[in-house]
Amino acid sequence: MKNNCILLLLVVFTIQLVKAQDLPMNLSTNNAIPLRELLDMDLQKKLEETLRANPKWEKLIAQKRMSVGIVDLADTDHIRYARVHGNEMMYAASLPKIAVLLAAMDAIDKGELKETEIIKKDMHLMISKSNNQATTRMIDRLGYDKIESVLTNERYGLYDEEFGGGLWVGKRYAAGGATNREPIKNLSHAATVSQVCRFYYLLYQGKLVSKERSKQMLDIMVDPALHHKFVNTLDKIAPKAKLFRKSGSWSTYHSDSILVWGSPERRYILVALVNDKAGEQIIRNLVEPIEDILQENQLNF
C-alpha cells in the first residue's frame, strides 16, 4: 500500500512537472497579476542586504550605476518580485534588441511585415548571436515609429515616462542613419530592470502579441550562442536548465537578462544593468547569491 502511494505521488509529480515546463504558462486570470503588484517586501529586503554586503556592489548602487531585478517563478500561486533601482534607466547596448524582436512579431502578426525565411534568420541572428547587421536590417524594415508605438503601447507599457522610461531602441546598430532617442535621458539603446523583468514576465505568460508569437519568441531566445555573464555561471551550476536570454555590452556598460527554467525550485527571471569596467564579472558573480536568496525565500514561505 505504501509503495503504491509513493508511486502515485511520483506519477502526479511527473505530470505536474511536464505541464509546468511548457512555456508560455497558462496562468489563471487570478494568477496573472501585474508585476508591480507582486513586489514582495521580504524578498526585497534580502535582495538589498545581499547586494549591499558586497562593498563594490554597494558603491555602484549608491552611485546609481548598478540595478538588479528578480522575479521568483517557482510557485505560480505566489510569484514574487524585487528590484534595486528598478526605474533607473541606463544605456543597455544590445539588450534592447528584445524590443526589436517584439516589434517585429507585432508587425508580422498584423500583416505589416512578411515572415520570410530571411526575416526569421535575421531575428534569430539578432538574439542568439547578437548580430548587429541583422538587427540593423530589422530596424530598417520596421522603422523607429513602429518600434516606439509597440514599446509605449499601454498593453505592454515597456517604456513609460511615469516609471523612469524603460526599453528603447532609437538608433541602428551601425554607423550613420537617423536616430530617435528616448525623451528622458536622450539614450539610443536603453532599459530599466523593472521593464525588462516585465518583458520576460509577459513573455512567460504568453502575453507578448499572442501565445503563439510568445512561443515563437521563446524559441528564438532559448539556448543563447554567447556563453558569458549569467550564462557562464549557469552553465556550471544548472547545465540542464533552459535559458532564455539577451545581454549587451559596450564600453563600461554591461547588461544581462534571463528567464531560467530548470527544476521546480530553479525558475526565475533575473536582470542586471551595470556601468563599470568590471561589469561582466559582476554580472557573472550575481547568479549564485541571487539563487541563494530565492531558495531561502521558498523555504521560508
Give the residue extent of every domain in the chain. Answer: 38-300
Quote the pLDDT of residue 26. Answer: 78
How many CA atoms, within 13 angstroms, populate the side-chain half-sphere of residue 200?
Answer: 30
- Please state, in angstroms and rounded to a whole number, the distance separating the CA atoms of residues 96 and 46: 28
Calculate the alpha carbon distances from 124 to 96, 171, 187 in Å.
15, 20, 25
The tens digit of pLDDT for each residue in 77-101 reads: 899 999 999 999 999 999 999 999 9
Instruction: Check residue 265 and give left, alpha or beta (phi > 0: left; psi -120 to 50: alpha).
Output: alpha
The tens digit of pLDDT for each residue in 26-41 reads: 765 545 689 999 999 9
Q: Provide the CA 84 distance to its chain's centre, in angstroms.
A: 15
Percent above pLDDT 90 for the chain: 86
Quote the pLDDT of residue 4. Answer: 45
As a whole number, mean pLDDT of residues 35-54 equals 97
Calculate the alpha carbon distances from 47 to 54, 200, 238 in Å.
12, 19, 21
pLDDT top residue among 2 and 35? 35
Quote the pLDDT of residue 43. Answer: 97
Contact 279, 295 (CB under 8 A): no
The helix-helix angle for 41-52 and 55-62 (nearest 10°) equals 110
Q: Cell 515572415: give the residue.
A: 115
Quickly state the pLDDT bin for 300 (edges 50, 70, 90).
low
3-state secondary structure of 40: coil
Alpha-helical regions (H) of the chain: 2-20, 41-52, 55-62, 97-109, 117-128, 132-142, 144-152, 193-204, 211-221, 230-237, 279-300
pLDDT top residue among 3 and 265? 265
pLDDT top residue among 102 and 14? 102
- For 74, the grid coordinates are 517557482
Contact 60, 188 (CB under 8 A): no
273 pLDDT above the threshold of 60? yes
Contact 159, 103 (CB under 8 A): no
242 pLDDT above the threshold of 60? yes
Contact 68, 217 (CB under 8 A): no
How many CA atoms, within 13 angstroms, populate the side-chain half-sphere of residue 72?
Answer: 29
Quote the pLDDT of residue 298. Answer: 65
Q: Identify the CATH homologous superfamily for domain 38-300.
A: DD-peptidase/beta-lactamase superfamily (3.40.710.10)
Residue length of the chain: 301
Burial 43-71 (b: 16+ CB within 10 A, else e): bbebbbebbeebeebeebbeeebbbbbbb
The tens digit of pLDDT for each residue in 175-202 reads: 999 999 999 999 999 999 999 999 999 9
As a whole number, mean pLDDT of residues 110-139 equals 98
Nearest Cα to Cα of residue 196 among 112, 83, 301 = 83
Q: Cell 514582495: give the residue.
A: 40
pLDDT top residue among 132 and 299? 132
Quote the pLDDT of residue 48. Answer: 98
Calculate the alpha carbon distances from 268 to 71, 110, 210, 221 in Å.
5, 31, 22, 15
Mean pLDDT score across all residues of the chain: 91
Nearest Cα to Cα of residue 68 among 291, 294, 272, 225 = 272
Question: pTM of the entire structure?
Answer: 0.91
